[in-house]
Amino acid sequence: MRHEFLLALEQTGATSAASGWQPLHMLVESTDEAQALMALMPLYAKTNSMGEYVFDWSWADAYARHGLEYYPKLLTAIPFTPCTGPRLCIAENCGVKNMQALVFAQLRTLAARIDASGWHLLFPEKSQAEELVEQGMLLRTGCQYQWFNDQYESFDDFLQSFSSRKRKNLKKERAQVAAQGIELQQIEGADISAEQWRNFYRFYESTYMVRGRSPYLSEDFFLEIGRTMPESLMLVLASHADTPVAGALYFKGNDSLYGRYWGSDRDYPGLHFETCYYQGIEYAIRQGYKRIDSGAQGEHKIQRGFKPVTTWSTHWLKHPDFQRAVADFLREEAIHISEYQNRAAEYLPFRKDLHELPTKGSG
């Protein structure tokens, strides 16, 4: 939700009418000059469902099969970023008892005016999602994998929570990277050079090119956030024979580290896990971050100590029949998501006796 981040997306064309992300940000303003801005919320008119990470392609297909238009739709989200956080930001003492209800009413009016099919809000905090459900939106759950810091003193301390076999596997994986002669650096945002940004972008771009797609973000975007919000960035750069070969970019929050973008020149066994997970865990332990949000999908994260957690989104469709049909679908889907999370947790690498031990620092 940093202004610098959202602005860089717009300035570099990542969010625009051409990309299917037309900005329509909502501001709730007061006539009282002493407190003019009461609330704000990112908002986009979407003409596709790319870069959202909450998949509604089947809903769009159902609309098309019934001769209806699903796009444009109204979307509140952080573009290309499956990251839970506040979406509707309300000023303290704004004087409005139920800002969510006011915003939802305005969104319904806007949907009617631009003939949008509905409004979708992705990855809000749970409390915000529940408040919007009370206003008539539908709740959708999802699953991500996140790492949590149990007051670990070091990476080896973290590994002590693993079963013996899983611990050996992970150590072997890290040793494999070192055996290839790969060296790793953790570079704070203010210290990332223009050449390092160019190298990183080449790596990032390659992850899309191998799939025959263009990347969502441009090199100018990364250069811009490197200029305007360097204190929020950390780059892991991997080199072989003094030549950069891979990189992973992290974003820093108040108490969380966010692993986001990565790429490499070629396939080095184990390097993805080292740059995107293990380097991040080492950094989070050293800096005292409570968790790492490593983005969407990736069951391979489970055996590396990333726990399945619930994410939320809320949805409102203007067409009452589709609203009811989607409500039925989401109820069924939620059951399967819950069952999946329970099964996924069984594959975590932690020692079975840990549930009998007190959490560190609990006394």
User: Quick one: 169 and 256 in the same domain?
Assistant: yes
User: Quick one: 204 and 94 in the same domain?
Assistant: no
Q: Which residue has the tokens 């899309």?
A: 208
User: Quick one: 193 and 284 in the same domain?
Assistant: yes
User: Quick one: 104 and 27 in the same domain?
Assistant: yes
Tell me the pairing of strands 89-90 and 182-188: unpaired
Domain count of the chain? 2
Which pLDDT value is given to residue 35?
63
> Is 297 within a domain?
no
As a whole number of Å, the end-to-end CA separation of the chain is 36
Contacts of 33 (CB under 8 A, 6+ apart): none
Q: Which residues of the chain have pLDDT under 70?
A: 33-35, 354-363
**Residue 231: which domain range?**
150-289
User: Quick one: 42 and 107 in the same domain?
Assistant: yes
Which pLDDT value is given to residue 354?
67
Which pLDDT value is given to residue 314?
98
User: Quick one: 178 and 198 in the same domain?
Assistant: yes
User: Quick one: 163 and 132 in the same domain?
Assistant: no
> Is 191 within a domain?
yes
Helix (H) or strand (E) holding 165: helix 164-179
User: Quick one: 47 and 125 in the same domain?
Assistant: yes
Which pLDDT value is given to residue 37?
86
| 93-97 contacts, C-beta under 8 A, 24 or more apart | 93/35, 94/28, 94/30, 94/35, 94/38, 94/39, 95/30, 95/35, 95/38, 96/28, 96/38, 96/39
User: Quick one: 259 and 214 in the same domain?
Assistant: yes
Residue 19: CA count within 13 A, CB half-sphere: 22
> Is 329 within a domain?
yes
Q: Which residues pair with 154 in a beta bridge?
A: none
In whole angstroms, what is the distance from residue 252 CA to residue 235 CA?
11
Let me know if 289 is exposed, middle or buried by CB neighbors in 10 A (0-12, 13-18, 19+): buried
User: Quick one: 168 and 198 in the same domain?
Assistant: yes
Which pLDDT value is given to residue 93?
79
